[in-house]
């Protein structure tokens, strides 16, 4: 896989895999549905994630769980803009998780430094031009359709090859609309039109090096996803609940970092922030540490500290 040493506009280059912490301001996301729906709690949670070591905090206002229905643009704006603004004001590097250009635009105006578009520019024809105009970093994810019918689109003869080719085409398309290739981060879209029972996600992870020729950094976002629960099913064939898949997520992070991922997107930040540091020290043989370039965990621009408890999902 390509190395994490990529310079992206407006983002920290830390010479290691970055950690993106998730704040879903939704009543129904699969992994933390309802936990941070309240605006004040969402901000508090984002601050906690930053203090625990998140390099970026990803704020989303629309659930993309399989089968989910869309929310209106107004509702998505109402959920996200104030949270983005307050986190950015407090010195957090914020990313906006949206498929809508207008939501992305308002978030960037409120201080977001990255647009995370799970549709790779397919859901909103205005997204590429907006991203080009703002110049911010852009996560372009592999996507085959909205959550209400993505499962039936998960048909592949060679999942890694097809995801690779579809990402390349999407990249060419947004570059054709003015996006600078240097703004782009690619994401294979684990769990999106990928079926646990067909091991699509594992096929992608096993073949991440096939994305090298695209020449862009990779974001890996497998935290608490169903394919982990399926792998860890019990003797009766029941999937491990996502509330008990944070250890598996941590393993995924360590392996992704070792494989050269630019960033991982996770819910439980603290152990994953540790894992990417372990991977970096392993890779450079402790050179940065010896040279006094060790890095404190969770240093916010405003010096914030973590509130004490980290609530778990109740879903
Ligand atoms: N997955 C979810 C939401 N946003 N963004 C990117 N770039 N990649 C993903 O795989 C991704 C995402 C859904 O998971 P959640 O409900 O835990 O946020």
Quick one: which atom of ligand 1 is closest to the CA of 30? Answer: 16
pLDDT tens-digit profile of 99-120? 999 999 999 999 999 999 999 9
DSSP string, 120-187: TTSS-TTHHHHHHHH--EEEEE---S-TTTTGGG---SSHHHHHHHHHHHHHHHHHHTT--GGGEEEE
290 an active-site residue?
no
Residue nearest to atom 3 of ligand 1 (CA): 64
Mean of pLDDT over the chain:
91
Q: Is the pLDDT of residue 251 over 60?
A: yes
Place of tokens 């629960």: 229
Ordered by start, the domain boundaries in the chain are 18-286
- What is the pLDDT confidence band of residue 297, given thresholds at 50, 70 and 90? confident
Q: What is the pLDDT of residue 106?
A: 98
d(C-alpha 141, C-alpha 161), whole Å: 15
Segment 4-16 shows an average pLDDT of 85
Asked whether 116 lines ligand 1 (CB < 6 A), one says: yes
Asked whether 262 lines ligand 1 (CB < 6 A), one says: no
pLDDT tens-digit profile of 141-164? 999 999 888 989 999 999 999 999
Catalytic residue among 225, 226, 270, 277: 225
265 an active-site residue?
yes
Q: What is the pLDDT of residue 308?
A: 38
Q: Is the pLDDT of residue 94 over 80?
A: yes
- Tell me the whole-structure pTM to 2 decimals: 0.92
The dihedral sign for the CA sequence 133, 14, 170, 28: negative
pLDDT tens-digit profile of 184-208? 999 999 999 999 999 999 999 999 9
Quick one: which atom of ligand 1 is closest to the CA of 64? Answer: 13
Q: What is the pLDDT of residue 292?
A: 86
Q: What is the pLDDT of residue 4?
A: 58
Domain covering 18-286 assigned CATH 2.40.50.460 in the classification: no
Residue nearest to atom 16 of ligand 1 (CA): 29
**Across 1-15, 144-158, 166-180, 215-229, least confident range:** 1-15
């Amino acid at each position: 896989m390509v190395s994490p040493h990529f310079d992206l506009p407006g983002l920290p280059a830390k010479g290691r895999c970055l950690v993106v912490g998730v704040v879903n301001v939704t009543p129904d996301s699969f992994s933390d549905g309802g936990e941070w729906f309240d605006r004040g709690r969402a901000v508090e949670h984002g601050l906690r994630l930053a203090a625990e070591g998140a390099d970026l905090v990803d704020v989303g206002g629309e659930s993309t769980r399989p089968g989910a229905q869309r929310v209106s643009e107004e509702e998505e704006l109402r959920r996200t803009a104030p949270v983005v603004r307050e986190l950015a004001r407090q010195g957090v590097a914020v990313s906006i998780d949206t498929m809508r250009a207008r939501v992305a635009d308002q978030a960037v105006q409120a201080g977001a430094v990255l647009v995370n578009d799970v549709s790779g520019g397919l859901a909103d024809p205005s997204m590429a031009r907006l991203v080009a105009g703002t110049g911010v970093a852009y996560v372009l994810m592999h996507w085959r359709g909205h959550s209400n019918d993505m499962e039936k689109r998960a048909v592949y003869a060679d999942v890694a090859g097809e995801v690779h080719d579809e990402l390349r085409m999407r990249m060419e398309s947004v570059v054709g609309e003015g996006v600078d290739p240097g703004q782009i981060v690619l994401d294979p879209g684990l769990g999106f039109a990928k079926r646990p029972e067909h091991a699509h996600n594992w096929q992608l992870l096993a073949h991440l090096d096939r994305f090298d020729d695209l020449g862009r950094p990779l974001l890996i976002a497998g935290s608490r996803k169903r394919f982990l629960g399926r792998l860890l099913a019990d003797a009766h064939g029941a999937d491990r609940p996502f509330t008990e898949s944070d250890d598996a997520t941590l393993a995924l992070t360590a392996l992704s970092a070792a494989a050269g991922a630019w960033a991982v997107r996770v819910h439980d930040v603290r152990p994953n922030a540790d894992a990417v540091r372990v991977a970096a020290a392993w890779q450079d043989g402790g050179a940065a540490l010896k040279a006094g370039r060790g890095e404190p965990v969770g240093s916010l621009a405003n010096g914030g500290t973590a509130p004490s408890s980290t609530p778990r999902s109740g879903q």
